[in-house]
Amino acid sequence: MLLAGLAVLSGLVLLVLSADRFVFGASGLALNFGVSPLMIGLTIVAFGTSAPEIFVAAAAALQDNPNLAIGNAIGSNIANVGLVLGLTALIVPVTVHRSVIERQFPIMFAVMAVSVLIFLNDYLSRLEAIALIIIVFMFVIFTVLNEKKQIPVFKQPDTGLKAPKTATSGLWLIAGLVLLVISSKILVWGAVEIASNLGVSDLIIGLTIIAIGTSLPEVATSIASALKGNPDIAIGNVVGSNILNLLAVVGTTGVIAPTSIYPDVMNRDVIVMIVITACMVVMVTPWQNRHILNRLGGFILLACYLGYLSYISVKTLNVPSLS
């Protein structure tokens, strides 16, 4: 159990660091080959922030634990809204640009509707997964074509280094990719061991420990942006990540290992994901010509997320009632 815990902890740390280096290397290569910063932000960095979830999904599916990957995707979406946006708004109220409300919010809800249709029969087929991967590319193309004159939904992280040499970028890209593979395998192994020892399902581990861990890049990016006076970046980061989680992460899982899905995913977790996301959207509805998630809204989202964690913990561990 101790070794499994250390594996999860070290896997999460390596996962975050390797994702950062992977994005740094890929961005450096793109810049050196003349790709615009906007294009880099909308593609490489967008996928880079979801790289932990994608690689964990692949590792879990390959190790015959696809429900851990499904739990990670849904749990990360819930954590992104409740934990990431909640914490960020508590620090600095989050401004939401009109382009995000008019374009990205509808896409996000459309993707959630597609996921509901897929999860209704409690089974993820390879054909459905391939369809999700195709939608990923359609989403990227749509975003690139429609956001050229808008504020980018994603922003290249401030690494402190500009235009690194091509060789250096290539080495970081390869090193980041290798570490992503290794760390995801370590993380999945430790998570499965913990689930086995505690007698809980891999879905629950994916919804909690792994979901929070793989959301750390979004937490770090959003809070850092808020502290630097750019809190509006947070909501674009979250919306983009949530879309890619349902498309790329679930799609990757199903392509590798078509699987039956625990009924709780549809009966509980997908409903929570939709409700907490809808609450966030209502909170940023125009008020006196402003689109903003204030500190009260952040507190409510964070409280909802902690309540969700408490609920599934009590149900999973069968904690006796005080009464």
Helix H or strand E segment including 293: strand 292-293
Answer whether residue 91 is part of any domain.
Answer: yes
Answer whether residue 138 is part of any domain.
Answer: yes
When mean pLDDT is compared over 140-149, 151-160, 178-187, the highest value belongs to: 178-187
**Is 241:49 a contact under the CB 8 Å cutoff?**
yes
Percentage of residues in the chain having pLDDT higher than 70 = 80
| Number of independent structural domains in the chain | 1
Q: Is the pLDDT assigned to residue 229 strictly greater than 80?
A: no
Non-local CB neighbours of 102 within 8 Å, separated by 6+ positions: none
What CATH number is attached to the domain comprising 298?
1.20.1420.30
Q: Is the pLDDT assigned to residue 123 strictly greater than 90?
A: yes
Answer whether residue 159 is part of any domain.
Answer: no
Answer whether residue 225 is part of any domain.
Answer: yes
Q: Tens digits of per-residue pLDDT, 197-206? A: 777 788 888 8
Q: Is the pLDDT assigned to residue 306 strictly greater than 60?
A: yes
Strand partners of residue 260: 123
Non-local CB neighbours of 206 within 8 Å, separated by 6+ positions: 60, 67, 68, 69, 70, 71, 72, 75, 191
pLDDT of residue 158: 46
Q: How far apart are CA 153 and CA 150, in angstroms?
A: 8
pLDDT of residue 274: 96
Q: How many residues does the chain have?
A: 323
Answer whether residue 56 is part of any domain.
Answer: yes
Answer whether residue 252 is part of any domain.
Answer: yes
Answer whether residue 321 is part of any domain.
Answer: no
∠ at Cα 177 (235, 32), nearest 5°? 75
In this predicted model, which residue has the larger pLDDT, 253 or 8? 253
What's the predicted TM-score (pTM) here? 0.79
Answer whether residue 57 is part of any domain.
Answer: yes
Phi/psi of residue 252, each to 5°? -60, -45
The average confidence (pLDDT) of the chain is 79
Q: Tens digits of per-residue pLDDT, 41-94? A: 555 666 666 777 888 888 888 888 888 889 989 999 999 999 989 988 888 888
Residue 25, domain extent: 2-152+164-316
